[in-house]
Structure 1
Amino acid sequence: MAAPPQFNMPNKLLALLPSADYNQIAPDLNHVVLPRGSLLGEMGKPIKYVYFLTSGIGSVVATTPEGHRAEAGLFGLDGYVPTSAVAGAEINAHDVGIQLEGDGYRMDYDAFRGWMEGNRSLSKVMIRSLEAFSIQLAYTAASNALHDVTERLARWLLMCHDRVAGNEINLTHEFISLMLAVRRPSVTTALHVLEGNGFIKSERGHITIRNRAALEEFAHDAYGRPEEEYRRLMRDLF
């Protein structure tokens, strides 16, 4: 399936492009359905495609030499992956996978590199997005060091909520424990705290956001600054 007209493009980065630039690159965008568990990039293997999600949620997962894994960054229709393609990197430094099923558009790596060299508008948007994603990664590292598990979970749920339609998020305890790099019992306890405060409703594999404003207040400074920076970086680009 070819890329839709720009006014129907849900990916925020592609929607930001001047229409003439979007129309130039659109023939190189191919629609893909992305079930949960889809790998968009494997650590140590060549980058084949650059992906622009239009729905769903994905994660960049860092793996230590001993095989420990934790989420480094979260993305959805706000960005693209792998971000290292902007710098001309040809090998994936991390695993990149889909955690909440969705769909999107992908572009061959070589075509992406060609457009990065040949289309200044695309290059500008991609570089701004890379900076925004870098800020998210930095705040994830800070949150992991400074906030308790319940605040980190609140932040993470808010970030997921930003990237889905509606208030329903289908996530298992096992997946959340991987993303937060904590044991599953810690996730269960944190979910009980958030549910007991009326912020969410938690069922097996399913979380409903019930009080977004209160959840943000509970998260304190764990959430908000990267989101503000994303909006600032994407404002008035053209």
Structure 2
Amino acid sequence: MHSDERFRSTTNWLLLGLAGQELWHLWPRLRREHLPAKTYLERSGSLSSKVYFIESGVVSSLETGDVRDPIEVGVIGREGLIGTSAIADLIPQRDSLVQIEGQALVLDCVQLQKCLSASPGLRSFLSRYVQAQMVQISLAASAGVRANVQQRLARKLLMYHDRVGADDLPLTHENISLMLGVRRASVTNAVHNLEAECLIKAQRGLITIRDRAGLERYCGRFYGVAETRYAEIMSDTPRTACVE
């Protein structure tokens, strides 16, 4: 057990979902770090040195390969980790940018590889998370084609709300433009339309969720599928509340 009392519990769902033996391979190697907003945790084409089990805040997975401006293709918070490429000892193919500041439990990729070698159960569990992330990215692509801008914004706000756990989301129009891959004018129109429906309230640098159920209805089939599949994929291992 880590001697620091701060490391005895975590809000990260993956760590909570690990069985005791698999968690003990990781726990002594983890250290807690603050994640400032606008910090890159990974860059495409560069070998990662760390893996981040997110405890709070929100991180965007950004596709940068064939577009002028990056676009958010994945959202990671306390349900996941940054550094999935390290599970297969690969080089990241997307950027990971902190959108809302938070904290994470962190370990070196070399240490993760040692843990994976020592625990096939840990490798299997984290591989299931990789599958869950692939589902989210594929559904984001589907929403990008089939949903209108307001529905896409509603979907993203719900996903951020899930991860932050509070109605106030510190998001600017710049954040939202990156989330949706649209111009600022389109962001302004989408925000105003959701405000007109009394679903959100927008202030400078802040979006407040006023009616979550209404946002879900507005979003329709474009929200909920990835969340349900995450639960199905990751449900084989029971969660524990803390490490004693």
- The alignment's TM-score, normalised by the length of structure 2, stands at 0.92
> Structure 1 CA distance, aligned partners of 2:66 and 2:22?
42
Q: Aligned AA for 1:63?
A: T
Residue number in structure 2 paired with 1:108: 108
Gaps of 5+ in 2: 239-244
One of 1, 4, 9 as aligned partner of 2:7: 4
The equivalent residue for 2:19 is 18
1:97-136 residue pairs with structure 2 within 5 A? 97-136=97-136
- Distance in structure 1 (CA, Å) of the matches to 2:136 and 2:92: 19
How far did residue 124 of structure 1 move? 2.2
Alpha-carbon offset, residue 121 of structure 1? 2.8
Secondary structure, aligned partner of 1:176: helix
**Amino acid aligned to 1:51:** Y
Please tell me whether residue 62 in structure 1 is matched to residue 36 in structure 2: no
Greater alpha carbon shift after TM alignment, 196-205 vs 117-126 = 117-126
* Cα deviation code 1:87-134 (max 9, x no counterpart): 220x22111110000001111011111112211232122111111110
Compared CA separation, residues 117 and 163, structure 1 to 2 (3 A): same
Aligned identity (percent) is 36
Contact kept in structure 2, 1:17 and 1:121, CA below 8 Å:
no
The 5 A counterparts of 1:59-208 are 59-65=60-66, 67-89=68-90, 91-208=91-208
* Range with greater deviation from structure 2 (129-138 or 116-125): 116-125
* Whole-angstrom CA distance in 1 between matches of 2:122 and 2:102: 24
Cα RMSD between the aligned structures? Answer: 1.5
Distance 1:42 1:49 in 2: 12
**Deviation (angstroms), 1:63:** 0.7
* Cα drift, residue 171 of structure 1: 0.4
Q: Which amino acid aligns with 2:70?
A: R
Per-residue Cα deviation, 1:37-60 (whole angstroms, up to 9, x for no partner): 111111111110111110000011
Aligned partners of 1:142, 1:85: CA distance in 2, in Å? 27
Moved over 3 A (4+): none
Once the two structures are TM-superposed, the CA of residue 224 in structure 1 deviates from its matched residue by 0.7
For 1:147 and 1:141, locate their aligned partners in 2 and report how far apart those are by CA, in whole Å.
10
Letter of the structure 2 residue corresponding to residue 87 of structure 1: A
Residue 35 of structure 1: how far off its partner (Å):
0.6
| CA distance in 2 between partners of 1:106 and 1:152 (Å) | 31
Higher relative contact order (CA 8 A, sep 6+): 2
Aligned length: 235
What are structure 1's unaligned runs of at least 5 residues?
none
Q: Is the 8 A contact 2:19 2:237 kept in 1?
A: no
Letter aligned with residue 93 of structure 1: Q
Deviations 1:61-86 (A, max 9, x none): 11134643111111001001122222
When normalised by structure 1's length, the TM-score is 0.94
